[in-house]
Structure 1
Amino acid sequence: MRGRGWRARAPGLNAAFCVAALAACDSSVEPADPGDVGAGPDPVPAPVDLSRAWATSTPEAQGFDPELLGGAFADAASAVPNIRALVAVRNGRLVEDAYFGGMHRDSAFDMRSVTKTVTALLVGLASDRGLLDPEDPMTDRLSHPSRRSEHGGIRVRDLLTMTSGMQWSDEEDFGPWVRSGRPVGYVLDLPIVAPPGRRFIYNTGGSHLLTVIVENVVEGSALEFAERELLGPLGIDHKRWPVMQDSVIVGGAALALRARDAAKLGQLLLQGGRSGSRQIVSRAWVEAQVGRLVAVGDIGYVLRDAGYGYQTWSDRRGGGDDVSAFVMWGYGGQFVWVVPDRQLVVVAQTHWRGTGDHDGIQADAVADLIVHRVIEAALPIRR
């Protein structure tokens, strides 16, 4: 692990979730002819059908250095003692996966704030169907006694980008929010401390408001909508998604997935919302979701030039120097790390309960394993 001594708060959730059920160049080389093959990003493969089980391949066939990749997986448990799963998918093929600490490929693991990215996909699906618009005022889609006139300027988009202006701290508010029995009222009762759309304030409670909004506009429950329109079409039928006291799925945390299924979510975004011949969620939505709508900056080691889109992180250097990535990040080092220029998806799951003040250190170690071991093993393909 790269010891930087930072203690960044990984997104979401440093309190136990207590809801029930919860390359170098040689100057002597002649300049390349324009028609020659040169180094560059991986060619984009045809979208794989994510409703099916992963097709498997070998590291060599998918452009990995097999020794480097094998070393990364062999060293994973010593680098991150709490690691439970590590998966690498390249060019739509499952190349390597490993499980630790008694876990196996069918273990569904609570990925904490990775849930937020899935919530944003549900909002996108509702938007694609004309049921809501990101520019809608929050209060048009959220009826509750705790609504105040100050909430009038907050748009659905502001909830998506963590710029609602509502006060929130996971350290101070998460536990009381869970215990309050008022998952909407607690959030709305908090002060507004910035104009909407102006200031990034990471807000797990605001993410839950998004699932409540989805529930308000779709047929059936938000969970039924998720199963029908997203998880089912991706072949994800082994999961746990608890509800809050309002009987609505938790928008900001607690979705438990198998690591291979979490990789499908990353691959869906990598494929611009497409699975085989089916467009699950619109490309325009995906581009916004993984885009840099809000500049956040340096967050310890995990993200060095971070931005935020719709409930999803991005980093201009998240795949190593000058290699961009977008990242689903949950407390304690839950990651779905996507590197478009390598056509690569990496999933890591860790045991996070009880990590407390060490959650940032653990997330640092997982990020180091992903970026400096797995991604570095994914050689750029020469085209």
Structure 2
Amino acid sequence: MRSQPALLPRSTPAASGVSSRSIAALLDRLEAQSVELHSIMVVRHGHVVAEGWWAPYSAGRPHLLYSLTKSFTSVAVGLAIADGRLSLDDRVVDVLPDHVPADISEQGRRITVHHLLSMTAGHSTDSLAKAWQLEPDDLVKGFLRVPFSEPEGTRHTYDNATTFVLARMVERVTGRGLPELLDDRLFRPMGVDHAEWDRVASGAAFGFHGLHLTTEAVAAFGELLLRGGVWGDRRLVPRAWVELATRRHIETRQLEEDSPNPDFLCGYGYQSPCP
């Protein structure tokens, strides 16, 4: 696999105020707890101070990011809003009228970009499986057909289908595929040259899942957000969007099937848990 130029500068832990012993202790603890690592990268003050990979993974091998993909879709939404092509109050039925089911409910007609971003459309559980069952060839229409159990905007439910709908809305208003838009506006300006996407049968990127990036590209994305959307001397993402997307918009609840975890209770932003 071809190697990619370094996205972040390197430094020793001590030069960046990090204890080497603490990093070693972390690795020992993870091993003792049988935590399977694919890679690790510690970044401090914009410098990589520790990094490593466990075979068969390597520095140049992209990793499946699972739901971290959602944060990249959120950035695409922010770019469309900054360009004046989309707004938080835009409704799904207005942006994607050809995906509206004939029997849509009044609540379905009211679902906006804000509701999708904050996952507050009103479904009681993740609607993805049911939406695909209802409409195998049109997940947007299936999402709108799944019954809503709560008023929109009142309750957070982790709902993968919201991100899929957002991706399709971005594509409709920009006239570009989600991968192509992010390649042009985010990845290539950062120096990331091989973002890979899993896609549905129609060829559309999932949006909620399926992005593959190297460990360093993920670290660089985190650094981009810490810098308020600036990379080098270029502003790639509006600072206002970074602040809005990472702000708490709704309280979250402990997931019943998961053991008690404070991360589930920190609140939810726009397609991202709050830091």
After TM superposition, the score normalised by the length of structure 1 is 0.64
Q: Find the counterpart in structure 2 of residue 146 from structure 1.
A: 101
Q: CA deviation at 1:292?
A: 0.9
Task: Report the Cα distance in structure 1 between the residues aligned to 2:77 and 2:31, rounded to whole angstroms.
Answer: 36
Question: Which of 263, 267, 272 is the matching residue for 1:303?
Answer: 263
Query: Contact 1:163/1:197 (CA < 8 Å) preserved in 2?
Result: yes
Q: CA deviation at 1:103?
A: 0.5
Q: Find the counterpart in structure 2 of residue 14 from structure 1.
A: none
Query: Contact 1:174/1:204 (CA < 8 Å) preserved in 2?
Result: no
SS of corresponding position for 1:220: coil
Distance 1:194 1:203, change over 3 A: same
Task: Report the Cα distance in structure 1 between the residues aligned to 2:188 and 2:86, rounded to whole angstroms.
Answer: 22
Task: Report the Cα distance in structure 2 between the residues aligned to 1:165 and 1:229, rounded to whole angstroms.
Answer: 32
* Structure 1 stretches lacking a partner, 5+ long: 1-50, 315-325, 327-383
CA deviation map 1:38-58 (0-9, x unaligned) = xxxxxxxxxxxxx96210001
Task: Report the Cα distance in structure 1 between the residues aligned to 2:133 and 2:52, rounded to whole angstroms.
Answer: 36
Instruction: Please say if 1:156 is aligned against 2:113.
Output: yes
Q: CA deviation at 1:197?
A: 0.9
Structure holding more helix per residue: 2
Query: Contact 1:165/1:196 (CA < 8 Å) preserved in 2?
Result: yes
Residue type at the aligned position of 2:75 = L
Task: Report the Cα distance in structure 2 between the residues aligned to 1:186 and 1:245, rounded to whole angstroms.
Answer: 16
Question: Which of 63, 71, 76 is the matching residue for 1:109?
Answer: 63
Q: Find the counterpart in structure 2 of residue 233 from structure 1.
A: 189
Query: Contact 1:83/1:101 (CA < 8 Å) preserved in 2?
Result: no
Query: Contact 2:91/2:109 (CA < 8 Å) preserved in 1?
Result: yes
Distance 1:101 1:207, change over 3 A: same
Q: Find the counterpart in structure 2 of residue 165 from structure 1.
A: 122
Q: CA deviation at 1:167?
A: 4.6
Q: CA deviation at 1:179?
A: 9.7
Distance 1:175 1:153, change over 3 A: closer
Instruction: Please say if 1:186 is aligned against 2:142.
Output: yes
Instruction: Please say if 1:132 is aligned against 2:89.
Output: no
Query: Contact 2:76/2:170 (CA < 8 Å) preserved in 1?
Result: yes
Residue type at the aligned position of 1:146 = P
Query: Contact 2:192/2:217 (CA < 8 Å) preserved in 1?
Result: yes
Q: CA deviation at 1:271?
A: 0.9
Q: Find the counterpart in structure 1 of residue 273 from structure 2.
A: 313
Percent identity at matched positions? 28
Instruction: Please say if 1:123 is aligned against 2:88.
Output: no
Query: Contact 2:82/2:238 (CA < 8 Å) preserved in 1?
Result: yes
Instruction: Please say if 1:219 is aligned against 2:179.
Output: no
SS of corresponding position for 2:152: coil
Task: Report the Cα distance in structure 2 between the residues aligned to 1:304 and 1:191, rounded to whole angstroms.
Answer: 25
Task: Report the Cα distance in structure 2 between the residues aligned to 1:263 and 1:80, rounded to whole angstroms.
Answer: 24
Residue type at the aligned position of 2:118 = T
Q: CA deviation at 1:74?
A: 4.5
Q: Find the counterpart in structure 1 of residue 248 from structure 2.
A: 292
Question: Which of 180, 188, 203 is the matching residue for 1:247?
Answer: 203
Query: Contact 2:7/2:217 (CA < 8 Å) preserved in 1?
Result: no
Distance 1:117 1:125, change over 3 A: same
Task: Report the Cα distance in structure 2 between the residues aligned to 1:191 and 1:223, rounded to whole angstroms.
Answer: 31
Residue type at the aligned position of 2:236 = I
Distance 1:179 1:98, change over 3 A: farther
Q: Find the counterpart in structure 2 of residue 346 from structure 1.
A: none
Query: Contact 2:122/2:152 (CA < 8 Å) preserved in 1?
Result: yes
Task: Report the Cα distance in structure 2 between the residues aligned to 1:177 and 1:232, rounded to whole angstroms.
Answer: 37
For residues 1-383 of structure 1, what are the structure 2 equivalents within 5 Å? 53-143=7-97, 144-146=99-101, 148-150=104-106, 151-169=108-126, 173=129, 180-296=136-252, 300-301=260-261, 303=263, 305-314=265-274, 326=275
Q: CA deviation at 1:175?
A: 9.9
Query: Contact 2:130/2:142 (CA < 8 Å) preserved in 1?
Result: no
Task: Report the Cα distance in structure 2 between the residues aligned to 1:178 and 1:102, rounded to whole angstroms.
Answer: 39
After TM superposition, the score normalised by the length of structure 2 is 0.88
Aligned residues: 264
Q: Find the counterpart in structure 2 of residue 378 from structure 1.
A: none
Distance 1:103 1:177, change over 3 A: farther
Q: CA deviation at 1:303?
A: 0.8
SS of corresponding position for 2:251: strand
Query: Contact 2:41/2:51 (CA < 8 Å) preserved in 1?
Result: yes
What is the aligned-residue RMSD (CA, Å)?
2.3
Structure 1 runs (4+) greater than 6 angstroms displaced:
none
Q: CA deviation at 1:242?
A: 1.6
Distance 1:295 1:167, change over 3 A: closer
Task: Report the Cα distance in structure 2 between the residues aligned to 1:166 and 1:249, rounded to whole angstroms.
Answer: 23
Distance 1:169 1:110, change over 3 A: same
